[in-house]
């Protein structure tokens, strides 16, 4: 993992000095491609700057060695010396014509300097690599007829499509709908487990054109035409993107900001070529203009949501004391753990010097109270001075009731009169020996944030694996423009960084986080029909069929079921987790439910190979809710992780770090200490070892 993180640093632009010397001189090389990625059949421009060349620089030849990561074959391009030079440095540039049949994914670039006279390589340095993608069709332009719509008014749309290939594309289907990701909610949740899934009417899908022919390397315009009807979406599209916050429950709904989706499919709607979101539109009643609405890039949908009171007092009045402060670095415990508080006491009285006696009272979840086993005495504390010490409060019995415990600390003076009091919380949970969390997207690990934090505090070994790069979710919002393959890949890196930082906030270091780099929204196709490595799925936004990242566990991992499961099996074998926490097998978001399928199948194969303990605990978490699909045959048991207020506050703060995923909205709607939830609920899959093949 350390090596992978070093490669990631290289991707982000940290270039290192070459290790070879030349006639007493130190050579250094830096450079990069002209872009982060290129379409097959196009030209990749490579640039390098060499410093420290001695003598006649014309005696040196500079090459770029291009390699598809994970293979041994190398293509070499000689770089041309550029006319513009600065003292002590020489600039080079060259081009590589990417073959139309080149594999998609990530390519590494190593710049090599040769001394022609000596016939030897005098310097070599790997620079930032680039992605190669195969984009077939793109939505070149998407235009709504206006910005403001009254409820019930028709929405008109013009679409310009572009064929990026040298062959005609026939029988394309172009759809307009309420903003959504097609892999989340194409089907109604009302369909039974055995029924044929019905199209979700809330998507309001309108076919703009069927059987469209798109000539090679040409554009086709679908002229402005009726595409939908303006309607209030807030609170109605639980499974789709773009509807904003929950329903307002007003007789006359307020104006709102909405967006819409245009998608290009093949004739039978099995291959999604491209999709794009419209610019925001304002939908409002004919006779209501207020309140003015705000879109997802603002902290509050309406100014009435702004908190002018609660933010001033996170803790309840009297909950904190200036005389007694408790360090909250450790607040989550297991039965059998010793509760040792790190306390700072301050003499806030007028006496020049005093002593304090600290007492603790513990309140169980049942309401029963008892005193700590011993008092803590602080002697000779000068006025205004502080003293920090450890207070051995309690050894939690094993077994002991799980839940949240309240600890009241009081300080009494020499005369026995109470001078100060503060209240804190701890939570007691059973913990596994080791924990592996597997999520579909960067931010889905937050479903198990309480469990992760409890494990970190208890010293339990934790790993987190994220399957997709999350390259689609809010990509357009991040760039304020439609996303092509380069934007999508870089957005995946943005989301990976958010997850790394969010988990660091929970205390989990970056070397414990693994990424696979699968395509956002592509898990269903990877599960089936793209099963074999020889038949990978071509992703929608990334436009690659292999993982185009250098910082993932296996660069150029084929987007196919069998290779994905093999990587998961290796992660499980290497780490040997006692508990695996993942998604629910019935979720309406395809990446979520299929993540569970990947994990369980990997476990079942390892179990069959006698490489996994059948007592391994597998958890499921329900984030989106079930869709109209065949239900998994498993049986479940509720499992609760208890959180004290300080841990819950840390989890709330974690949500603010996912800025690309509405972290600003979460920060704008922050809860007080008392409002924060004290439980995180999951489901234990009791019979994951059984029912193999139910979803194949």
What pLDDT is stored for residue 574 in this prediction? 98
What pLDDT is stored for residue 20 in this prediction? 42
CA separation for the pair 306, 24 (Å, rounded): 65
What pLDDT is stored for residue 159 in this prediction? 98
Contact 470, 443 (CB under 8 A): yes
Q: Which whole number is the average pLDDT over 56-77?
A: 96
Mean pLDDT of the chain: 90
Contact 423, 319 (CB under 8 A): yes
Q: Which whole number is the average pLDDT over 516-539?
A: 97
What are the tens digits of pLDDT across the range 384-418? 899 999 999 999 999 899 999 999 999 998 888 88
Burial status of residue 694 (CB atoms within 10 A of its CB: 0-12, 13-18, 19 or more): middle
Q: Which whole number is the average pLDDT over 626-643?
A: 91
Q: Where does CATH 3.40.50.10320 sit in the chain? A: 434-685
Lowest mean pLDDT among 111-120, 195-204, 520-529: 195-204
**Regarding the domain with residue range 2-132, which homologous superfamily does it belong to in the CATH classification?**
Immunoglobulins (2.60.40.10)
Residue 429's pLDDT band (boundaries 50, 70, 90)? very high
Q: Which whole number is the average pLDDT over 560-573?
A: 98
Residue 490's pLDDT band (boundaries 50, 70, 90)? very high
- Residue 75, pLDDT above cutoff 90: yes
Q: Where does CATH 2.60.40.3880 sit in the chain? A: 324-428
Q: What percent of the chain stands above pLDDT 70?
A: 92
Residue 41's pLDDT band (boundaries 50, 70, 90)? very high
CA separation for the pair 229, 9 (Å, rounded): 48
What pLDDT is stored for residue 247 in this prediction? 61
Contact 124, 113 (CB under 8 A): yes
Q: Is the domain 137-306 a CATH 2.60.40.10 member?
A: yes
Contact 288, 254 (CB under 8 A): yes
Which three-class secondary structure state does DSSP give residue 305?
A: helix
| Token pair belonging to 268 | 């039978």
CA separation for the pair 692, 575 (Å, rounded): 23
Burial status of residue 497 (CB atoms within 10 A of its CB: 0-12, 13-18, 19 or more): middle
What pLDDT is stored for residue 190 in this prediction? 42
Q: Of the ranges 199-213, 512-526, 658-672, which is most confident? A: 512-526
What pLDDT is stored for residue 299 in this prediction? 87
**Rg of the chain (C-alpha set):** 30
More confident residue, 161 or 349: 161
More confident residue, 296 or 683: 683
Task: Name the CATH code of domain 324-428 (choices 3.55.40.10, 2.60.40.3880, 2.40.50.140, 3.20.10.10).
Answer: 2.60.40.3880
What pLDDT is stored for residue 198 in this prediction? 61
What pLDDT is stored for residue 236 in this prediction? 61
Residue 497's pLDDT band (boundaries 50, 70, 90)? very high
What are the tens digits of pLDDT across the range 295-347? 888 888 888 888 888 878 888 887 889 899 999 999 999 999 999 999 999 98
Residue 194's pLDDT band (boundaries 50, 70, 90)? very low
Q: Which whole number is the average pLDDT over 249-258?
A: 86
Q: Which long-range contacts (CB under 8 A, 24 or more apart) does 562-568 make?
A: 562/531, 562/532, 562/533, 563/533, 564/467, 564/516, 564/518, 564/526, 564/598, 565/598, 565/601, 565/602, 565/605, 567/516, 568/438, 568/465, 568/598, 568/599, 568/602
Residue 256 β-bridge partners: 283
What pLDDT is stored for residue 25 in this prediction? 55
CA separation for the pair 296, 477 (Å, rounded): 8
Q: Where does CATH 2.60.40.10 sit in the chain? A: 2-132, 137-306
What pLDDT is stored for residue 16 in this prediction? 37
CA separation for the pair 46, 303 (Å, rounded): 49
Burial status of residue 538 (CB atoms within 10 A of its CB: 0-12, 13-18, 19 or more): buried
- Residue 61, pLDDT above cutoff 90: yes
| pTM exceeds cut of 0.85 | yes
- Residue 521, pLDDT above cutoff 50: yes
**Regarding the domain with residue range 434-685, which homologous superfamily does it belong to in the CATH classification?**
LmbE-like (3.40.50.10320)
| Token pair belonging to 288 | 């209501």
Q: Which whole number is the average pLDDT over 113-129?
A: 95
Q: Which whole number is the average pLDDT over 212-235?
A: 94
- Residue 440, pLDDT above cutoff 50: yes
Q: Which whole number is the average pLDDT over 149-178?
A: 96
Contact 128, 109 (CB under 8 A): yes
Q: How far is CA 5 from the centre of its chain?
A: 17
What are the tens digits of pLDDT across the range 17-34? 444 444 435 899 999 999
């Amino acid at each position: 993992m350390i090596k992978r993180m070093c490669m990631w640093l290289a991707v982000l632009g940290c270039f290192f000095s070459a290790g070879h010397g030349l006639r007493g001189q130190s050579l250094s090389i830096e450079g990069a491609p002209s872009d982060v990625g290129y379409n097959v059949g196009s030209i990749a421009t490579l640039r390098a700057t060499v410093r420290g060349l001695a003598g006649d620089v014309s005696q040196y030849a500079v090459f770029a060695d291009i390699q598809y990561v994970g293979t041994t074959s190398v293509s070499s391009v000689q770089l041309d010396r550029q006319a513009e030079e600065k003292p002590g440095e020489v600039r080079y540039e060259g081009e590589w014509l990417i073959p139309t049949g080149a594999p998609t994914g990530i390519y590494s670039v190593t710049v090599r300097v040769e001394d022609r006279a000596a016939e030897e390589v005098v310097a070599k340095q790997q620079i930032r690599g680039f992605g190669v993608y195969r984009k077939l069709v793109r939505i070149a332009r998407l235009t709504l007829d206006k910005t403001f719509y009254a409820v019930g008014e028709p929405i008109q749309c013009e679409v310009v499509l572009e064929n990026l290939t040298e062959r005609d594309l026939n029988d394309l289907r172009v759809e307009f709908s309420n903003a959504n990701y097609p892999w989340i909610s194409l089907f109604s949740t009302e369909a039974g487990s055995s029924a044929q899934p019905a199209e979700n009417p809330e998507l309001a899908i309108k076919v703009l054109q069927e059987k469209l022919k798109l000539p090679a390397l040409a554009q086709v315009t679908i002229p402005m035409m009726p595409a939908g009807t303006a309607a209030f979406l807030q609170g109605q599209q639980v499974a789709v993107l773009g509807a904003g916050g929950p329903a307002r429950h007003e007789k006359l709904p307020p104006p709102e900001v909405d967006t819409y989706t245009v998608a290009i499919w093949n004739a039978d709607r099995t291959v999604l070529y491209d999709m794009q979101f419209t610019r925001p539109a304002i939908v409002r009643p004919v006779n209501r203009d207020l309140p003015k609405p705000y879109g997802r890039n603002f902290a509050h949908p309406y100014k009435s949501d702004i908190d002018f009171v609660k933010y001033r007092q996170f803790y309840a009045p009297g909950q904190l004391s200036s005389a007694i402060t408790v360090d909250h670095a450790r607040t989550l415990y297991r039965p059998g753990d010793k509760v040792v508080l790190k306390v700072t006491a301050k003499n806030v009285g007028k006496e020049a010097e005093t002593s304090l006696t600290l007492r603790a009272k513990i309140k169980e979840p049942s309401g029963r109270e008892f005193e700590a086993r011993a008092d803590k005495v602080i002697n000779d504390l000068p006025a205004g001075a502080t003293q920090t010490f450890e207070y051995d409060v309690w050894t939690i019995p094993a077994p002991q009731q799980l839940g949240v415990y309240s600890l009241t600390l009081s300080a009494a003076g020499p005369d026995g009169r109470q001078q100060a009091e503060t209240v804190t919380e701890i939570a007691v949970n059973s913990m596994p020996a080791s924990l592996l969390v597997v999520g579909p997207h960067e931010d889905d690990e937050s479903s198990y944030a309480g469990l992760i934090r409890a494990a970190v505090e208890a010293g339990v070994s934790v790993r987190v694996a994220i399957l997709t790069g999350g390259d689609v979710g809010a990509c357009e919002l991040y760039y304020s423009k439609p996303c092509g393959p380069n934007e999508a890949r870089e957005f995946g890196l943005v989301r990976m960084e958010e997850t790394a930082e969010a988990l660091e906030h929970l205390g989990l270091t970056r070397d414990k986080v693994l990424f696979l780099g699968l395509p956002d929204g592509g898990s269903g196709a990877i599960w089936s029909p793209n099963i074999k490595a020889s038949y990978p799925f071509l992703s929608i936004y990334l436009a690659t069929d292999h993982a185009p990242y250098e910082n993932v566990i296996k660069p150029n991992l084929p987007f196919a079921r069998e290779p994905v499961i093999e990587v998961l099996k290796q992660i499980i074998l290497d780490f040997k987790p006692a508990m695996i926490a993942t998604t629910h097998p019935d979720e309406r978001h395809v990446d979520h439910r299929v993540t569970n399928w990947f994990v369980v199948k990997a476990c079942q194969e390892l179990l069959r190979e006698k490489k996994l303990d059948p007592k391994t605990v597998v958890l499921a978490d329900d984030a989106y809710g079930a869709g109209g699909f065949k239900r998994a045959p498993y049986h479940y048991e509720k499992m609760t992780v208890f959180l004290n207020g300080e841990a819950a506050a840390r989890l709330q703060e974690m949500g603010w770090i996912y800025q690309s995923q509405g972290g600003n909205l979460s920060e704008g709607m922050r809860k007080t200490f008392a409002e924060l939830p004290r439980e995180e609920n999951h489901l234990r899959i009791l019979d994951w070892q059984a029912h193999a093949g139910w979803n194949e």
